[in-house]
Amino acid sequence: MSAYHCPIMLREVLEGLNIRPNGVYFDGTAGGGGHSYAILASDPTVQLIATDKDGEAIAETQRRLAPFSGRFRLYRTDFKRYDEVLREAGVEALDGYLLDLGISSHQIDDAARGFAYMSDDAPLDMRMDDRSALTAETVVNEYSPEALTRILREYGEEVFASAIVRRLVAERAGGRVTTCGALRVIIEGAVPARYRYHACARKTFQAIRIEVNGELAGLKECIAGLTRRLRPGGRACVLTFHSLEDRIVKQVFREMAEGCTCPKSFPVCICGKKREVEPVGRQPQTASEAEQAENSRSKSAKLRIVRKVE
């Protein structure tokens, strides 16, 4: 397996997709190609369409999938643009899709990308797509206090959002905040001492990363749209790593699994709503104890799977 990124819950994802011979699959977050490789290796008749915003991830995936030349197409774009990708690929329906919504190991470990709060001298970047104009430095230094507070509360679920923003605004008045280390020190100085621990900056960094990359914008509509692209019996697998993503995925799948919503007193259905999917498993799957011990980043992973009804 590539050292670029360790794919999370690989066995569970493959089982969840229930690969079909001659099937067409979509990996919307190719990363380093780990999941994509396993999908293609599972059956010599399978075709794959994969996307990723990250140019380095695309290059690594291209390298990893070289043995399967002719059986995959790779696009550097946001998976939320699946409509135009599938149109360009000449594909109408899918037998399954995977969305791994986590940040990749490579992105975290490469200090120059500015994702890790423990990288003192790393620039405040956090872009998954380096073609984007918006960086974490822009958010930190140019967003209004009101916007920053909203982002930290909504995307980071940070209870000390107001205190952190007050200290940040005071600090940036004396000059731009440009490094991950400088931002972490500001956060640690704003959090009450008894809550100040080595990872107390995590929620703020998560919130800013989500804002920079637009991770939650349009996610609900994308998951619903991709799921409706499935052939009967096709599978949708979505890996989430924090409660905000998981809440959206859970809501979409629950709504699509619900049939008629008319009051039981109605003699006939007038809402016209049909059940579109059925859940595979009663609860989301989590990584095994062995995987969690080997890869700590798998501890927060949740895998939700649904099957398109016949």
What are the pLDDT digits (tens) for 223-269? 999 999 999 999 999 999 999 999 999 999 999 999 877 888 787 78
The per-residue pLDDT for 232 is: 97
Q: What is the pLDDT of residue 143?
A: 98
In the DSSP assignment, the letter for residue 25 is E
What b-and-e string marks burial along 127-155, b requiring 16 or more CB atoms within 10 Å of the CB? bbbeeeeebbbebbbebeeeebbbbbbeb
Which CATH code of 3.40.50.11030, 3.40.50.150, 3.30.420.40, 3.40.190.10 fits the domain covering 10-101+217-308? 3.40.50.150
Span 99-118, average pLDDT = 74
Residue 30 φ/ψ region, left for φ over 0, alpha for ψ in the -120 to 50 degree band, beta for the rest: alpha
| CA 290/CA 268 separation, integer angstroms | 51
**What pLDDT does residue 47 have?**
98
Q: Regarding predicted confidence, which is higher, 5 or 79?
A: 79
- pLDDT of residue 131 exceeding 80, the answer is yes
According to DSSP, the β-strands at 47-52 and 94-100 are unpaired
Q: Please, where in the chain does CATH 3.40.50.150 lie?
A: 10-101+217-308
Across 90-99, 107-116, 136-145, 219-228, least confident range: 107-116
**pTM for the whole structure:** 0.91
- CATH domain 111-213 topology: DNA polymerase; domain 1 (1.10.150)
Judged against a pLDDT cut of 80, whether residue 7 lies above it is answered with yes
Computed over every residue of the chain, the mean pLDDT equals 92
Mean pLDDT confidence for 84-112: 87
Mean pLDDT for 18-40 is: 96
> Which residue is listed with tokens 């859970």?
250
Work out the average pLDDT over 272-297.
Answer: 93
pLDDT in tens, 154-197: 999 999 999 999 999 999 999 999 999 999 999 999 999 888 87
Give the residue range(s) of CATH 1.10.150.170 domains in the chain.
Answer: 111-213
